[in-house]
């Protein structure tokens, strides 16, 4: 769903609790970006020339020269040149063939725990809509997700993203807008993430939870006495 296409609620109505979940290495036991590139290579979709470009762009990400949303925007433009319809077809095939096998064992259990308490559950991920939507559907969340939206004009990728990207400060902004639109109180919301890149949103909610944390997040969680969980 587009981050700007949000429902509205009665401002006077009492706000309720929600649970936001990061996707990569949280709901999934791996990075969707890496899995997608592996899938494209396995099915012979990526030429050697494109693979060299992908490798260079990925190296730039690891060196801190670009962020994850912009990396994925460039890669989607170069690997799925025929446009959005082809990207959605690949997305469905990729999920059925590979991605569903990386759903973290503990993720569904924790989502059910929140549902039993009447909490609104949504995915908030820096990944693109092509990765997040099939995962949201697998958990029965339908359109309850936020993702980095790739700009599509006349069915084709422009190579740009719809700002703000769902990453860092942008993730906080979009989650705040989503909470407002769905009658959620961020102070009563949970957020589950594996990465220190999500510290801004973890600090913005009332119930931050480190899940399968990387080293920097684990240290931050220890300092702040946040709970730590493992979904796989």
Q: Mind telling me the catalytic residues?
A: 22, 24
**Both ends of the chain: CA-CA distance in Å?**
28
CA dihedral defined by 20, 22, 23, 24, rounded to 10 degrees?
-170
Give the Cβ contact number of residue 67 at 10 Å: 16
Give Cα 177 distance to the centre of its chain: 16
Q: Which residue has the tokens 């039993």?
A: 116
Q: Distance between CA atoms of 190 and 21, rounded to whole angstroms?
A: 8
């Amino acid at each position: 769903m587009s981050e700007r296409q949000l429902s509205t609620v009665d401002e006077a109505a009492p706000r309720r609790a929600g649970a936001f979940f990061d996707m990569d290495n949280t709901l999934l036991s791996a990075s969707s970006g890496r899995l997608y590139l592996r899938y494209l290579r396995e099915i012979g979709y990526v030429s050697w020339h494109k693979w060299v470009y992908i490798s260079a762009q990925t190296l730039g990400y690891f060196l801190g020269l670009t962020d994850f949303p912009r990396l994925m925007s460039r890669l989607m433009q170069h690997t799925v040149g025929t446009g959005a319809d082809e990207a959605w077809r690949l997305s469905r095939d990729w999920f059925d063939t590979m991605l569903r096998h990386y759903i973290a064992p503990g993720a569904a259990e924790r989502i059910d725990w929140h549902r039993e308490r009447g909490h609104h559950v949504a995915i908030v991920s820096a990944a693109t809509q092509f990765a997040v939507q099939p995962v949201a559907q697998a958990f029965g969340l339908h359109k309850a997700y936020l993702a980095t939206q790739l700009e599509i004009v006349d069915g084709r990728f422009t190579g740009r993203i719809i700002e703000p990207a769902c990453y860092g400060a942008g993730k906080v902004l979009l989650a705040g807008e989503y909470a407002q639109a769905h009658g959620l109180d961020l102070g009563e919301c949970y957020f589950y993430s594996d990465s220190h890149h999500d510290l801004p949103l973890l600090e913005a909610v009332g119930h931050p939870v480190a899940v399968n944390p990387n080293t920097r997040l684990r240290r931050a969680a220890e300092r702040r006495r946040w709970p730590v969980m493992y979904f796989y």
